Structure 1
């Protein structure tokens, strides 16, 4: 029996139209390659793909995987986020309460420093100090 359910067209595959994200990422890829004066052949060789595959990525006809995007970022000396800079920001999702405090850089620094303490007795002392300070600030 044939499956009658269809998933929505996502683009970037055979017979599917490219999505705006695929097109934008491809355009940014082409822009950076040209800015650096690299030919299609040079960049394709650097990341280990064919010239025609790179052309498909640059046109948005083929979707770029995360690992390939990272390889392009390394070869083109940019961060992976560079390829998304022309896109509107995604809708922010609410951060679960326990994770909200971990978005604070100072909290991360404290956690990292705490993890660097090797002595269990020193860890307990640091923890006791923080608890005492938190209690006295209420």
Structure 2
């Protein structure tokens, strides 16, 4: 479960930076297949490699553990089969499109619109 979470955070950051698995692998001296295995949680990431990834992706090592559910540390519990929102392709595509908007005022307007929409929808549910 921990490897899966760390892998999803790796994928998130790589995608937000617009790097392919091949390009990230090249920067680390790895194949894209190894990056794939890391991202899917098939292979765990050693501490030294995690440090290297953090440097290449310009994030602190703690980034890979952000938003980790407490259940990830409990091996006795069954894994959550629903992917976390930050690991979904839709979320990644939305974030990439959002940051392609160059005008900060337009970007802030979209941010405010989304927040207002969520507030309105949550208000209707209650």
TM-score range, shorter chain: 0.5 to 0.7
- Tell me the equivalent position of 1:55: 36
Aligned residues: 71
- Tell me the equivalent position of 2:47: 66
Give the TM-score taking structure 2 as reference length: 0.54
Structure 2, unmatched stretches of 5+, are: 74-126
What does the per-residue CA deviation read over 1:57-113, in whole Å, with 9 as the maximum and x for residues that have no partner? 0000000000000110000000000000021467xxxxxxxxxxxxxxxxxxxxxxx
Give the TM-score taking structure 1 as reference length: 0.49
- Tell me the equivalent position of 2:62: 81
- Tell me the equivalent position of 1:46: 27
Structure number with larger C-alpha Rg: 1
Match for 2:8 among 23, 27, 51? Answer: 27
Alignment of 1:1-138 (within 5 A): 20-88=1-69
Q: Write out the 4+ residue segments of structure 1 that deviate beyond 3 Å after TM superposition.
A: none
- The root-mean-square deviation of aligned C-alpha atoms, in Å, is 1.2
SS at match of 2:42: coil
